[in-house]
A and B are shown apart, each in its own frame.
Chain A
Amino acid sequence: MNTTHYADGVVDDIMVVGVGGQGVIVAAAIIADTALLHGDLEVKLSETRGMSQRGGSVSSHIRIGTTVVAPSISPGEVDYLLAFEQAEGLRLVPSVVDDGIAIVNTQKIVPPLASQGEFQYPLDAVARMDDGRVRVTAVDGNAIALDVGDLKVAGVVLVGALSTHLPFDVATWQEAIVRNVPPKWKELNFAAFAAGREVGGL
């Protein structure tokens, strides 16, 4: 893939979803900054509003193209879904286009509501997502992050997995990572990104 990808007015609609505190916002910033650093592209971004730090569902929309109008992705038009948590992936998968890409972290975060008996947490979320309509890649981002050295870089593992589908080179991704993580974590994040690329599904 290369940048002619965007030549015919193609807009890539990327949605990152997860649970407050998982690093969705940072991942979205890395993706948006990569497109920005690549140059000659318009980038727009829109985030969940409200109390995202308190364990609620979080989503971030990133739209990349030569011209982008709205900052939010319309229902059913997601090209790439990057889910940091499996139930959140299952929640948003109906919005992915036919034959679109969904990368889902196998982590399970059971909300306190599930403990009240009224709701059942979907333990089979990944299997339910993978119904043949959308191309699903399950990634154990947490295990890979621990392998690399720290659970904190799980988000960048997932970004690495997504990166294999987008037309930007590794150096540009790394420059965007540097912009968004503390300097002392740079090498660890590069390693996490590289590990993510190994399991990206291409």
Chain B
Amino acid sequence: MDTHLMLGNEAVARGAWAAGVQVAAAYPGTPSTEIVTNLATYDGVYAEWSTNEKVAYEVAFGAAMGGVRALTAMKSAGASVAADPLISSVYTGINGGLVVCLAGDPGMSSGMTEQDDRYFGRISSMPMLEPADSQECHDYTRLAFELSEEFDVPVMVRLSIQTAHQKSMVRFAEPDGGGRTAPVRRPPDRKTEKYCLLPRYSRPLHRSLLERFERLRAYSESSELARVEPGTGAFARIGVVSAGAAAISAKEALPEASFLKLGMIHPLPVEAVRRFAASVDRLFVVEELEPFLEEQLLAAGIACEGKEWFPKWGELTPVRVGRGFFAAGLDLPRWAEEKAAEDLSVIPRPPVLCTGCPHRGMATAMKKLDLDVHGDIGCYDLTTLPPVSHMHSAVEMGASIPMEQGFTRAGGSEKGSIAVIGDSTFLHSGLTGLLNAVHQRTNVTVLIQDNSITAMTGGQTNPGNVKTLAGVETRPVDIAAICRALGVEHIETVDPYDYEVCLASLRAGLAFDGPAVIITDRPCMLFPQKVTGDSHYVVDPDVCNACQQCMKLGCPSLHHVEATHKGRHKVEIDGETCTGCSLCAQLCKVGAITKAGGA
């Protein structure tokens, strides 16, 4: 036996590799990203960062139709983007196995919403497996490919962030390096009646989908994926039905209870639960977010308790489950009192834009012009926080430009309004919004902050890069040329390290009669490699009058010192981390900030 400590997502990738997966496609999204990052490291797997989740899904779907095992992975919001093929592919079924990894984010560690992804299984009738630790991430992913081909249906491996981002031990049945099911290619499908969802074909396909779901239900009822773990002592007659991360939390909170640990959560093995319920006095359903399992059990006439004790929001950590059991009247001293996890009065330390971040200049300029700013999804969202605090919407991928268009149609605002979007998000779902604004002849202003990487999720490639995830040299897309082709007449590419240029370009874009696009062209400081800069700036403490202009930038390399002027602290620059972007020197009204060495 070979034991490894693996991240849940790493184990999913290893399981897919072991199953002989040949094609993997995804758009990066926390907490799903590491699945495809890891798959890209295996020989014999083609892996790509696609332009968005819908495209990724369709690439994987096409590969499965073409006869190989394929995988796609996404975060919650990504499933909404990919919902169309996700639902349709259950109608068509597959050829090579297709596995859909969907990683949810209860607690919103980085997601914009905490949505219960399990409803995608219900809306589509796609079967869902839910692993609880890295061993199950590996084993269930491998099994999902088998089930996919056995039942001619895509299979979802549903993860919570608690599962995706924990590390636990994985034991392979065979020595490392072995154990990969030999990848095969089935003859590619050429079946009009299976893959063309015209009504004449999709009506019978829906009926066969429903029939297939009943066969899956029979599998779920008889499968060993629903595992009874008998309890001990005083709590043996307390029953817990749970799956995934919630099951781990429940086990930590009340290890002596009897458990029915589910592996397949859709179709739900209701009769297995009914048998288990008969063996206990009280039955608790422990699940994150919505009462997805609980409502199905209640509808089947199985008495159970759930959401009255366990919150519908946030991660279900052991303490939150334990507190729920305690509130339900169980005598559990460990959970009797609420304990502080941390001292919240100590200074908050949220993530900030890096020193030298190319987003900082424009953010400060937009704040200066007091614009209504419609943001998108990317690192620039960090400027919603103090001290810059200039962004007024940041909702979902691609929202910025259409929302700016609607806002403008509503009459706009006195000082002007602008859409802010990054390169990767623009290529993900910004183009269609810009095309619409141009077509509708709406006077929008759009700032595309092109830092040449998908930064927020950790530096993944996108079509603006010279290489793909697979390491193949490719032609980087020309964003200005795209905008020209879409019909934008005012396009200006500027250096975001030049504050006056930032202000001037914004004013010109706002004044232009017609859709206007401003593009910034400085690369990310962190990815693909950390930029340290070849020079740094220093503050002359005798000249600094503590006016605080530079501190408006929110740069992590600027600090207050003890010395004051008129009651305000003077500033110093950390020469170790300063990258020499010079924005602070440009904002300084008294010339106190100069390049080190006087150059």
A: which residues have CB within 8 A of B?
Answer: 19-20, 32-33, 36, 42-47, 49-57, 69-72, 74-77, 87-88, 90-95, 110-116, 118-122, 125
Cβ contact within 8 Å between B346 and A118:
no
Is B251 engaged at the interface, CB distance under 8 Å to the other chain? yes
A95 touches B341 (CB 8 A): yes
Are A71 and B347 closer than 8 Å at their CB atoms? Answer: no
Which of the listed residues A46, A52, A112, A116 has the most CB atoms from chain B within 10 Å of its own CB?
A112
Nearest-neighbor residue (CB-CB) of B385 within chain A: A113
Known A69-B252, A76-B339: A112·B351 in contact at CB below 8 Å: no
Asked whether A55 and B556 contact (CB < 8 A) given A47-B165, A70-B249, A94-B343, the answer is yes
Task: Tell me if B347 and A114 are in contact (CB < 8 A).
Answer: yes
User: Once the chains bind, are A75 and B319 in contact (CB under 8 Å)?
Assistant: yes
* Given known contacts A50-B110, A110-B559, A55 and B349 CB-to-CB distance under 8 angstroms: yes
B347 touches A55 (CB 8 A): no
Chain B's closest residue to A110 (CB) is: B559
**B347 CB contacts on chain A under 8 angstroms:** 87, 111, 113-114, 119-122
In contact, B456 and A119 (Cβ under 8 angstroms): no
Closest 4 CB pairs of A and B: A76-B339, A49-B109, A56-B351, A71-B166
| Chain B residue contacts of A111, Cβ below 8 A | 347-349, 352, 556
Question: Does B168 reach chain A (CB closer than 8 Å)?
Answer: yes
Q: For B456, give the chain A residue with the smallest CB separation.
A: A51
Q: Judging by beta carbons under 8 Å apart, are B318 and A70 in contact?
A: yes
Closest to B353 in A: A54
B237 to chain A, nearest CB (A): 21
CB distance from A5 to the nearest CB of B (A): 19
Could you tell me if A87 and B351 are in contact, using CB atoms closer than 8 angstroms? no
**What band does the interface of chain B fall in when counting residues whose beta carbon is under 8 Å from A?**
35 or more
Q: Is the CB of B556 within 8 A of A71?
A: no
User: Known pairs A44-B167, A50-B110, A111-B347. 11 more at Cβ < 8 A?
Assistant: A47-B167, A49-B161, A54-B354, A55-B351, A55-B352, A55-B556, A69-B255, A71-B167, A91-B346, A95-B340, A113-B347
> Which residues of the partner chain B approach A53 to less than 8 Å between Cβ atoms?
458, 526
For A46, the chain B residues whose CB sits under 8 A away are 162, 165-167
Can you report 28 residue pairs joining A to B where beta carbons are below 8 Å apart?
A32-B167, A43-B5, A44-B168, A46-B166, A49-B105, A51-B110, A54-B379, A55-B351, A56-B349, A57-B349, A70-B248, A70-B251, A71-B166, A72-B162, A74-B252, A74-B317, A74-B339, A75-B319, A75-B339, A76-B341, A87-B347, A93-B343, A94-B339, A95-B341, A95-B342, A115-B558, A118-B386, A122-B346
- Interchain CA distance A87-B382 in the complex, whole Å: 22
B185 to chain A, nearest CB (A): 37
State the B residues within 8 Å of A (CB).
Answer: 3, 5, 30-31, 105, 109-110, 133, 161-162, 165-169, 248-249, 251-252, 255, 317-319, 322, 339-343, 346-354, 379, 382, 386-387, 456, 458, 526, 551, 554-556, 558-560, 569, 571
B5 touches A32 (CB 8 A): yes
The distance from the CB of B202 to the nearest CB of chain A, in whole angstroms, is 40
Cross-chain contact B166 with A112 (CB below 8 angstroms): no
Q: How far is the CB of A41 from chain B (nearest CB, A)?
A: 9
- State the Cβ distance, A137 to closest chain B Cβ, in Å: 19
Residue of B31, B161, B318, B349 touching A88 (CB-CB under 8 A): B349
Distance A45 CA – B8 CA, assembled complex (angstroms): 11
Q: Which residues of A contact B165 (CB under 8 A)?
A: 46-47, 49
Question: Which residues on the B side are within 8 Å of A71 (C-beta)?
Answer: 133, 162, 166-168, 248
Complex contacts, A77 vs chain B, CB 8 Å: 339
From known contacts A46-B166, A50-B30, infer whether A72 and B318 are also in contact, taking CB-CB under 8 Å. yes
For A72, what are the chain B residues with a Cβ–Cβ distance below 8 Å? 162, 166, 317-318
Determine which of A20, A75, A119 lies in contact with B341 in the assembled complex, contact meaning CB atoms within 8 Å: A75
Q: Which residues in B have their C-beta under 8 angstroms from that of A91?
A: 342-343, 346
Give the complex CA separation of A77 and B133 in angstroms. 22
CB distance from A96 to the nearest CB of B (A): 11
Minimum Cβ distance to chain B for residue A9 (Å): 10
Chain A residue with Cβ nearest B249: A70
* Interchain CA distance A66-B475 in the complex, whole Å: 53
A32 nearest CB neighbor, chain B only = B5
Chain A residues within an 8 Å CB radius of B249: 70
Docked Cα-Cα span, A95 to B340, in Å, equals: 6
Does A43 contact B162, Cβ atoms closer than 8 Å? no
Report Cα–Cα, A72/B319, bound state, in Å.
Answer: 10
Given contacts A33-B5, A49-B30, A72-B317, contact A54 B351 (CB under 8 A): yes
**Central interface residue in B249, B347, B382, by most chain A CB within 10 Å:** B347
Q: When the two chains form their complex, are residues B340 and A94 in contact, meaning their CB atoms are under 8 A apart?
A: yes
Using Cβ atoms and an 8 Å threshold, which residues of chain A touch B317?
70, 72, 74
With both chains docked as a complex, state the minimum distance between the C-beta of B251 and any C-beta of chain A, in angstroms.
5
Residues of A within 8 A of B31 (CB): 49
B248 contacts A69, C-beta separation under 8 Å: yes
Chain B nearest CB from A102 CB (Å) reads 13
Contact B162 A113 (CB under 8 A): no
